[in-house]
Amino acid sequence: MYRFLLTPRWWGINIFVVLAIPFCVFMGSWQLGKFEDRVDTHQEAQQKPDPGEQKAAPLDELLPVDSETSGRQAMATGQYGRQFLVPDRQLDEKRGAYVLTMLKTDGGRTLPVVRGWLAEGDRVPAAPAGPVTVTGALQASETSGTDGVHAAGGLPNGQLGMISAASLVNLVPDDVYDAWVTLSDADSGLKPVPATAPAGSGLDLKAFQNLGYTGEWFVFAGFVLFMWFRLLRRETEAARDVALGLDPA
């Protein structure tokens, strides 16, 4: 009755099932592991002191930016240079722009400094002249997936869509730090821009997407197994009918 299992068609079905179910279980377990990692990271972050409350340290001591140093208060000394506007940034549900000014540090490298947020239509205040010492929350370079990042191209001269060394490489002749700081106390006429948590460190929407994908992969595994049993039952009933002479074929 079960000789049909030895047909080429059923060999293909069986091989597919044998490969598909472990693959679905593996992918579901991997997504679950990603979610658990985010939960662990979130719990560890909750137990640590707020980075913004820790003592300020020289910039170079906090680099490269990672989950430990992101948000820490960094200090740098130098002179302000070229200035950009980073448009389409919201603060308190209002549209505006970040005022991004290049700080040529005493070490020779250039640090992007967000001096504050400017409401749409307001006049951009000039940067302080002469040597300055800035203190602000250290942030990792933005990427195309960062909230608020403007699509590449199409911006007027003097505006920048993304705060990163890569986006500044052709605009600033100096070596640019792969990081930036947002001033704790914004310059006159500007509002301070709060630091953001490092990517992947909190229970955000993406974390719960991982949990949702976990359920989907396990559902797929169950569906494959269900369909295999359904096909097996149908073929078995058809073979029984033929054996009993109930099937004209």
pLDDT digits (tens, 9 = 90+) for 54-102: 788 999 999 998 878 888 999 999 999 999 999 989 898 888 999 999 9
- The pLDDT value recorded for residue 224 is 94
Amino acid at 231: L
- Note the pTM of the prediction, 2 decimals: 0.64
Least confident of 3-7, 34-38, 69-73, 176-180: 3-7
Amino acid at 113: V
Task: Tell me if 183 sits within 8 A of 135, measured CB to CB.
Answer: yes
**Mean of pLDDT values over 131-159:** 82
Number of Cβ within a 10 Å radius of residue 20: 16
**Mean of pLDDT values over 199-228:** 82
Give residue 42's pLDDT band: very low, low, confident or very high (50, 70, 90): low
- The pLDDT value recorded for residue 46 is 57
User: What's the rounded Cα separation, in Å, for the pair 53 and 125?
Assistant: 28
**pLDDT for 201 beyond 70:** no
**pLDDT for 49 beyond 60:** no
Amino acid at 50: D
H-run or E-run covering 136: strand 131-140
What does the block give as tokens for 74?
């960094």
